[in-house]
Each structure stands twice: as structure tokens, then as C-alpha cells.
Amino acid sequence: MENTQEIIQGHLPGRLSALGKIQAKKLAKRLRDEKFSAIYSSDLKRAMDTAKEIAKYHKNIPLYFIDHLRERNLGSYQGRKSGELDWENIPPDVETLESMQKRAKEFLKKVHKKHHGETVLFIGHGGLNRAMLSVILKKPVKNFFTIEKPKNTSVYVIEIGKNLKGKIIVENCTKHLE
């Protein structure tokens, strides 16, 4: 809902718009026949609602809501319209890209160790998903914005090997929305 109003959400719970709810249902149908060992979702409402929609097709799969998959903490920018903000002089209460990338890396290491060789689903947010991609693709933070912004409900399929080095099989795919 807030996305359509160009409101910066960060760690705010957020709500899915009517379109967002339709997109979540279409994503769930696309993923219904996939075999997951676990589903990990951000604990923010907008992601949780999407995860719950997907979990309807995966009733026996553990579903975890965790803060490591939250969007970037945008501090005093949260709840404001993006056009009002000075992105050249970011306030100190906004999480740095380095901190978000570190959070993503720690989470990926933990999940990779626990689910090595298994298929795991992550439901996160655009910025955090980019941070995970930067870790998997071994891109430094200075190249963060060279990574294509993930679309809402887009699907990535990534094989992750040693040292979290990944190979992207499917990238930013939204064919389920057509």
C-alpha cells in the first residue's frame, strides 16, 4: 500500500495493496509445486503476508519470520515520501549499506550451514535482497546499485556453493504476474 504512495517503509510493517495481494497469490501459485526444506521471511507484515500466502501450499514446511530479512532500517526517513528526502546527506540513524550487507552475509552463512544442499525460500525486501545478491555475487558495497533492483514478488533461483559463491539460474522473473 505504501509503495503506491511512494512512502519509504524501511522497518515499518507496511501493508500489501490490493494489487500486492493479487501478486502474492500469483506467486504462491507459481511456487506451489516447488519442494522447499524451509521458508524464511522477513518479520515485517508486508513480507509475512506474502509468506503466509505461499505457505498455504506448503503446510508441512517450517516457516520462520526473522528480523535478519527486514528491509534496510531507514531511521528518520521511514514513513516519509521519497521525493522529500535528501539522499546526498543521509542522517546517522539510517542503516549503512555496509551494515545491511554484513547482516545479509551473516544470515546467508547461517542458513547455508543449516540447509546445505537443500532448497530454501527467502521472502524479503528490495534493498535486503540486493544486499544478499551482492554477497552471493561477491560485489563490494560500492557496486550495490549496479545490481538490478528486484521487482515485487520476483523470483530468483540461485545455487549457492562454497564461500557463499552463487550462480543465478533465474533472475528477477515475474512471469507469474502476466
State the pLDDT confidence band at 48, using cuts at 50, 70 and 90.
Answer: very high
What's the gap between Cα 149 and its chain centre?
11
State the pLDDT confidence band at 2, using cuts at 50, 70 and 90.
Answer: confident
Percent of the chain with pLDDT over 70: 100
Domain membership of residue 84 (yes or no) is no
Average predicted confidence (pLDDT) for the chain: 95
Determine the straight-line distance between the first and last CA of the chain, rounded to whole angstroms: 21
Q: What DSSP string runs through 101-170?
A: HHHHHHHHHHHHHHTTTS-EEEE--HHHHHHHHHHHTT--GGGGGGSPPPPTT-EEEEEE-GGG-EEEEE
State the pLDDT confidence band at 162, using cuts at 50, 70 and 90.
Answer: confident
Domain membership of residue 129 (yes or no) is yes
Q: Is the pLDDT of residue 4 over 80?
A: no
Q: Is the pLDDT of residue 9 over 90?
A: yes
Q: How many domains does the chain have?
A: 1
CATH number at residue 170: 3.40.50.1240
Q: pTM of this prediction?
A: 0.94
State the pLDDT confidence band at 163, using cuts at 50, 70 and 90.
Answer: confident
Domain membership of residue 70 (yes or no) is yes
What are the pLDDT digits (tens) for 51-107? Answer: 999 999 999 999 999 999 999 999 999 999 988 999 899 999 999 999 999 999 999
Q: Three-state SS across 11-46?
A: CCCCCCCHHHHHHHHHHHHHHCCCCCCEEEEECCHH
Range of the domain at 144: 24-74+95-177
The pLDDT assigned to 177 comes to: 96
Domain membership of residue 101 (yes or no) is yes
Percent of the chain with pLDDT over 90: 90
Domain membership of residue 11 (yes or no) is no
Element (H, E) at 158: strand 155-160
What are the pLDDT digits (tens) for 21-34? Answer: 999 999 999 999 99
